[in-house]
Amino acid sequence: MNVSTFSASAADIRFRLLAGGLARLSAWRLTSLALLLPCSLLLALTLHGCDRQGPADEERVTLVFKHGKIAGDAAAFTEVLKQFERENPDIRIRDETLPATTDQQHQFYVINLEGKSSDFDVFSMDVIWVPELARAGWLMDLTHMLPPEERSNFFPGPMEAVTYEGRVYAVPWYIDAGVLYYRSDLLEEYGFQPPTTWQELVRQASAIVRDRPDLYGFIWQGKQYEGLICNALEYMWSNGGDVVRNGTVLINSPENREALSFMSRLISEEEITPAFVTTAIEETTRHIFGNGKAVFMRNWPYAWNIFERPGSQVRGKVGVALLPSFSGHEPASTLGGWQLGINKYSRHPKEAERFIEFLTSYETQKRVALTIGYKPTRKSLYRDAELMSAQPFIVSLYDVFEHARPRPVTPYYMMISQILQPEFSAILSRIKKPEAALRSAEKQIQHVLRAEE
C-alpha cells in the first residue's frame, strides 16, 4: 500500500464518521482519532520496511547464470556458487537451469539474444555454438581475459572452439571427449589388451560374445541427433577423413565412405552392435554397460564416476582407453564440453568476468572435478596429486583431451549438422549406401557455404 492510497482512506473515514451523526464525539476523541491515523500509517510503513532488503543488499549486483542441468551433484555445485558469493560480497548469483536438451538451450539463447535481452549475464555454451553466436555479435569479446601466455594452460581443442577470427569469445569451463570403455575383467579373462584398432575391437568382441551370448559386443550412440555426428566423426577422422577443411568440403571421400561402411557393418554383418543402437543416446548405452550387459562402449568421461559408485554392478571392472583407429591412422576423439560466455547486452560485464574467472580457476575446476565429475580444461590439473588419487583414470584422459578434435569450427555448423544427421542415420539404417549419402551431404554443405559467402 502506498502513502497516497492510505491518506485518501483516512480522509474518507473521517468524512463518514462525521456524516454518520457521530459529531457528538468529544473534541478529545476526534483529536485522538486524527492522531491515531498518522501513527497507524507510520507503523504500517515501518512494518512493511522490515520485509525490504537492507541497503547492503540493494547495493549488491545480481548476476543471472544460465546453464543446462548439472549432470552430477547439484547440491555440490550450489556450494561452489555460495563460495563465490562469500569471496565477492558485492555480487549475488541467481542460478537458472535451462531444459536438458542442447537443442532447446540453443533455441532459448538465439531467441533471447536476437531480441537483445539483458535478462541473463553469464551462460554456458556447447562447444559448437561459439562461432555462430560470435558472428552474430551476441558475445562479449573476452580476448583480454585469455592473453596468449594464458591460453597455453588450456587444452588446444577447447581454445580453438572458443576462438573466432582471431578473437576469444568464451572461456573453456569443462571438457569432454569420446572414450572407449571396456570390461577389464573380461579382457583379462580372455587374455586381451585394450584394442588399438577397430578391427581388433571387432575380433575381441566377437570372441567374447560367442562364448557369452548374453552380452552385447559394442554399444554406442546411433540415434539421429548430435551424438551420432560425434560418433561418426571418430570413425572418419581415425581413417584420415574430414568434413570441411579451410573452406573446402571433403565429406565425400574414399576414407569417409570406408569408415561409415564399417560403422554400418558393425550392426548388419559383424553383429557385435545390436540394431537398437540406432535409437540409443548416451544414457541408454550407459545403463546397458553399467548393468554389465556389454563388453565395449563408446561414451563420454562422465560415466566412469557413475560406474565406480557403491552398488554399481561393474564397480572395479571398468577400464578406459583411447578410441581405436583404422590401421595406419591415428585415433581421434570428438571434442565435447561447455564454455562460459557473457551476454553482449549484460548490464554487469565486469562482475560477469569475475564470475567466469572464478569458475574456470585452478581451485574451482579441481573442486568441481572432485565433487561433480566435470573434467577440467586446465592441463595442469591432470598432474594434481589429490585429483589423481581420487580419480586414477584421469591420467589416461590427458592424451585423449590433448588430441580431441572439435567439430567443424564454423558459424554454420548447426546447418551442417542438420544436413549430416539424416544422411548418417540413413547409412546405419541401410536406407542409403555411404556413396549416395555422402554425395548428397556434399552438395548440401557446398550450397550452405556458398550461400553464406
> What was the pLDDT predicted at 393?
84
Q: Which three cell numbers stand for residue 267?
A: 550392426
DSSP per-residue string spanning 174-222: EEEE-EEEEEHHHHHHTT-PPPSBHHHHHHHHHHHHHH-TTSEEEE---
What's 56-176+336-402's CATH class? Answer: alpha beta
10 Å Cβ neighbour count for 277?
Answer: 22
> What was the pLDDT predicted at 234?
98
Threshold 0.85, pTM exceeds: no
Q: For the chain (length 453 residues), average pLDDT per consecutive 10?
A: 36 38 37 40 39 57 96 90 98 94 92 98 96 97 95 95 96 97 98 98 98 98 96 98 94 98 96 96 96 98 89 96 96 96 98 98 96 94 96 89 91 96 98 98 95 66
> What was the pLDDT predicted at 437?
98
> Is-contact 319 397, C-beta < 8 A?
no
> What was the pLDDT predicted at 408?
92
End-to-end Cα, the chain, rounded Å: 59
Q: Distance between CA 46 and CA 33 in Å, rounded?
A: 20
Length of the chain: 453
> Is-contact 419 379, C-beta < 8 A?
no
Residues of the chain with CATH 3.40.190.10: 56-176+336-402, 179-332+412-451
Q: What is the 3-state secondary structure (H, E, C) of 112-155?
A: HHHCCCCCCCEEEEECCCHHHHHHCCCECCCHHHCCHHHHCCEC
Rg (alpha carbons) of the chain, rounded to whole number: 30
> What was the pLDDT predicted at 22?
35
> What was the pLDDT predicted at 54?
39
10 Å Cβ neighbour count for 317?
Answer: 16
> Is-contact 334 233, C-beta < 8 A?
yes
> What was the pLDDT predicted at 239?
98
> What was the pLDDT predicted at 327?
96
Fold of 179-332+412-451: D-Maltodextrin-Binding Protein; domain 2 (3.40.190)
CA angle 299, 413, 120 (to 5 degrees): 85
